[in-house]
């Protein structure tokens, strides 16, 4: 083992700057220099509560579900995973559109305890990631615990018996099973959002959402209209452009882009050699990437108190970032000032997710058939999509195929499942379209119920969502440990703890670009409140989720 001071000095050397000692224990876990899984539970259910039957339902076998199940297995807790699909992988199973790849460096977008030193690309394409999660599920021995093709439809807490009744719909019909606790790992970006378009069903050709790609539809020689220009569209449109006779991209709001020349590149041979031959090199590389992205651009997203005009930037650093990103767009569209006007965002950077780009998106938009239309969507016709400009002038875009790249119902957490807690309270009625939770994981009135990737656990410009899931699952396992150790039957988050936490989160988000900007984004619930994002540092989330405080809960004993 390496002592803390030595490790801190090594870390400082690796990143070329001093490292705050508060980060060292977090980074020790992420780095895992000895190859040990430092976040593994250090307890076993049999030791804490010998003979006590205790079963957990995990909903979903994507990135978070695999993680939660693995931790439960390590702690010797009995569990079942319900997965609506026929395989593991979640988002990486469902999104099969051409060009789909991760937008976080892959050496960081992987579990801290299942690091790989042989990623072929800096940013892996979807099949590579799906293979990774499949391999993890196999290696951790999870498949035998997964009920594939089984969708959880409802979960109801029994006030009398202190367990959850989980209703599942599968190939043989519906069934109910009882569990002592539930971990929901259903993700946020899962249920496609379809726009409400006049005459939507009048269109007679094939039409599909990017997350439900129809590979049977031949795009060659077709007039293709893509509705939406977010992260998904940016990835698949250049591929569609290679096949289609004519392409139209309907963009309601332009994105900010950050240039990443290696976005589609294989890892350089020299680096691969180092990963293969120098022991620990890949771990230190991951550490270096993690550090660079850990708080990343966060300070450049902050709102300066004395900043007058928040419509274009939110402070000095945000304005500097804006200047840099504007320069990139100006460079990309130097030969097309007409296009630059259409693609230059007016809103402050980081109000929406900044999209990675290696130049393929501008190159596609510069095609001679002029694919970009920034006017408002008006209606579908049998063979066209019609847009209308501010003066009422219509443009008819011939369409043989329509692809909806219109995102997900991200703020509709846990839908369409019905979740009923103490006193028969329905979670969606409690939320009323504005989901909240304590630490994004627990909610008052819903004992022994844990969320992964719940409200306010998304990050905009820093870190990787896998890191967040590891923190969330660590917290959930910590609460389960308390339950077993203390012979409690239920733990229910205190309302005042939840409320005070959410006040702080809301205030924090209002100090960030995504909180003050009025631009459309999937970060906000219908109420306009930011229901998705964590506004503080990665360090702080780790500190808060490391060890649950029993005082935060109302508990019931056996």
Nearer to ligand NAP, 464 or 474 (CB): 464
From the list 85, 156, 253, 409, which residue makes contact with ligand NAP (rule: CB under 6 A)?
A: 253
Nearer to ligand NAP, 321 or 460 (CB): 460
Position 351 contacts ligand NAP (CB under 6 A):
no
Cα–Cα distance for residue pair 516/302, rounded to 1 Å: 10
241 touches ligand NAP by CB under 6 A: no
Instruction: Judge contact between 195 and 68, C-beta under 8 A.
Output: no
Stretch of 165-173, 400-408, 483-491, 539-547 lying at the interface with ligand NAP (CB under 6 A): 400-408
Cα separation, 557 vs 486, in Å, equals: 8
Stretch that binds ligand NAP, among 99-107, 144-152, 311-319, 388-396 (CB under 6 A): 99-107
Cα(451)–Cα(374) distance, integer angstroms = 38
Residue 498 makes contact with ligand NAP by CB under 6 A? no
> What gap in Å lies between CA 287 and CA 282, rounded to an integer?
8
Asked if 195 interacts with ligand NAP (CB under 6 A), we say yes
Under rule CB under 6 A, residue 103 binds ligand NAP: yes
**Which of 62, 65, 125, 230 lies at the binding interface for ligand NAP (CB under 6 A)?**
230
Judged by CB under 6 A, which of 140, 347, 449, 522 binds ligand NAP? 522
* Contact call for residues 184 and 414 (beta carbons, < 8 A): yes
- Count the helix, strand and coil residues of the chain and give each as a percent rounded to the nearest 5: 35, 20, 45
Instruction: Candidates 59-67, 100-108, 144-152, 153-161: pick the segment binding ligand NAP (CB under 6 A).
Output: 100-108
Q: In terms of CB distance, is 189 or 414 closer to ligand NAP?
A: 189
166's CB contacts (< 8 A; 6+ apart) are 57, 82, 152, 154, 155, 176, 177, 178, 179, 182
Spatial distance between the Cα atoms of 56 and 168, rounded to a whole number of angstroms: 14
List the one residue from 7, 67, 102, 240 that touches ligand NAP (CB under 6 A): 102
Shortest distance, CB of residue 237 to ligand NAP, whole angstroms? 11
Of positions 44, 162, 191, 252, contacts ligand NAP by CB under 6 A? 252
Within 402-421, the residues that bind ligand NAP by CB under 6 A are 405-407
Site for ligand NAP in 153-192 (CB under 6 A): 189
Q: How far is the CB of 450 from ligand NAP (least distance, A)?
A: 23
**Going by C-beta distance under 8 Å and a sequence separation of 6 or more, which residues neighbour residue 408?**
188, 189, 190, 191, 192, 193, 211, 522
Binding-site member from 48, 186, 231, 471 for ligand NAP (CB under 6 A):
231
C-beta closer to ligand NAP: residue 407 or 444? 407
Stretch of 240-248, 290-298, 385-393, 399-407 lying at the interface with ligand NAP (CB under 6 A): 399-407
235 binds ligand NAP (CB under 6 A): yes
Residue 128's Cβ-count burial label (10 Å; 0-12, 13-18, 19+) is middle
Contact with ligand NAP (CB under 6 A) among 232, 248, 293, 545: 232
**Residues 523, 71, 180: CA angle, nearest 5 degrees:** 85
Please, is 554 exposed, middle or buried when counting C-beta atoms within 10 Å of its C-beta (0-12, 13-18, 19+)? middle
Distances (CA, A) of 22 to 287, 297, 324, 472: 16, 19, 31, 20
Q: Is 248 in the site for ligand NAP (CB under 6 A)?
A: no
> What would the two tokens of residue 336 be?
């097309």
3-state secondary structure of 532: coil
For ligand NAP, the closer CB: 26 or 102: 102
Task: Report if residue 121 touches ligand NAP, rule: CB under 6 A.
Answer: no
Tell the smallest beta-carbon distance from residue 112 to ligand NAP (Å).
19
Beta partners for 488? 557
Cβ proximity of 398 and 383 under 8 Å: yes
Give yes or no for a contact between 115 and 282, defined as CB atoms under 8 angstroms apart: yes
Query: Taking CB under 6 A as the rule, does residue 520 contact ligand NAP?
Result: yes
Structure tokens at 12: 């400082």
- The contact set with ligand NAP (CB under 6 A) reads 101-103, 189, 195, 227-233, 235, 252-253, 353, 377, 405-407, 520, 522
């Amino acid at each position: 083992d390496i002592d803390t001071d030595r490790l801190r000095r090594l870390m400082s050397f690796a990143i070329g700057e001093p490292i705050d000692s508060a980060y060292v224990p977090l980074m020790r876990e992420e780095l895992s220099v000895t190859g040990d899984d430092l976040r593994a539970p250090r307890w076993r259910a049999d030791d804490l509560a010998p003979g006590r039957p205790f079963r957990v339902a995990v909903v979903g076998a994507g990135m978070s579900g695999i993680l939660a199940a693995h931790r439960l297995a390590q702690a010797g807790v009995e569990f079942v995973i319900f997965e609506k699909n026929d395989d593991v992988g979640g988002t990486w199973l469902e999104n099969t559109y051409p060009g789909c790849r991760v937008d976080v460096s892959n050496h960081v977008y992987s579990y801290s305890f299942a690091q790989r030193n042989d990623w072929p690309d800096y940013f892996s394409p979807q099949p590579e990631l799906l293979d990774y999660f499949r391999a993890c599920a196999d290696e951790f021995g999870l498949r035998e615990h997964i009920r594939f093709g089984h969708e959880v439809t409802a979960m109801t807490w029994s006030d009398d018996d202190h367990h959850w009744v989980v209703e599942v719909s599968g190939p043989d019909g519906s069934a109910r099973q009882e569990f002592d606790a539930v971990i929901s790992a259903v993700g946020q970006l899962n249920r496609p959002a379809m726009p409400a378009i006049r005459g939507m069903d009048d269109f007679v050709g094939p039409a599909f959402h990017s997350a439900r790609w129809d590979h049977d539809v031949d795009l060659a020689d077709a007039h293709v209209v893509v509705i939406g220009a977010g992260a998904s569209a940016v990835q698949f449109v250049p591929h569609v452009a290679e096949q289609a006779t004519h392409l139209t991209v309907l963009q309601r709001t332009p994105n900010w882009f950050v240039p990443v020349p290696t976005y589609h590149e294989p890892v350089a041979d020299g680096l691969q050699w180092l990963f293969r031959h120098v022991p620990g090199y890949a771990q230190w590389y991951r550490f270096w990437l993690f550090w660079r992205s850990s708080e990343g651009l966060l300070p450049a997203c902050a709102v300066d108190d004395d900043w007058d005009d928040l419509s274009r930037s939110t402070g000095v650093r945000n304005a500097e970032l804006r200047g840099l990103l504007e320069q990139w767009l100006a460079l990309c569209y130097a030969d097309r000032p007409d296009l630059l006007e259409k693609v230059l965002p007016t809103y402050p950077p980081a109000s929406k997710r900044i999209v990675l780009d290696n130049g393929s998106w501008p190159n596609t938009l510069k095609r001679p058939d002029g694919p970009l239309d920034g006017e408002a969507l008006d209606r579908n016709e049998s063979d066209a999509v019609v847009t209308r400009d501010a003066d009422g002038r219509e443009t008819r875009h011939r369409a043989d195929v329509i692809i909806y790249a219109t995102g997900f119902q991200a703020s509709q957490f846990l839908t369409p499942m019905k979740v009923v807690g103490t006193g028969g309270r329905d979670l969606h009625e409690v939320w009323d379209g504005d989901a909240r939770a304590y630490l994004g994981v627990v909610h008052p009135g819903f004992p022994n119920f844990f969320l992964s990737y719940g409200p306010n656990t998304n990050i905009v410009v820093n870190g990787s969502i896998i890191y967040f899931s590891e923190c969330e699952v660590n917290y959930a396992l910590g609460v389960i440990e308390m339950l077993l150790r203390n012979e409690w039957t239920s733990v229910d988050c205190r309302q005042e703890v939840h409320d005070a936490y959410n006040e702080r989160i809301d205030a924090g988000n209002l100090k960030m670009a995504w909180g003050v900007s009025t631009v459309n984004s999937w970060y906000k619930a219908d109420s306009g409140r930011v229901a998705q994002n964590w506004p503080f540092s990665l360090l702080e989330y780790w500190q808060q989720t490391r060890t649950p405080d029993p005082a935060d809960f109302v508990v019931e004993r056996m």
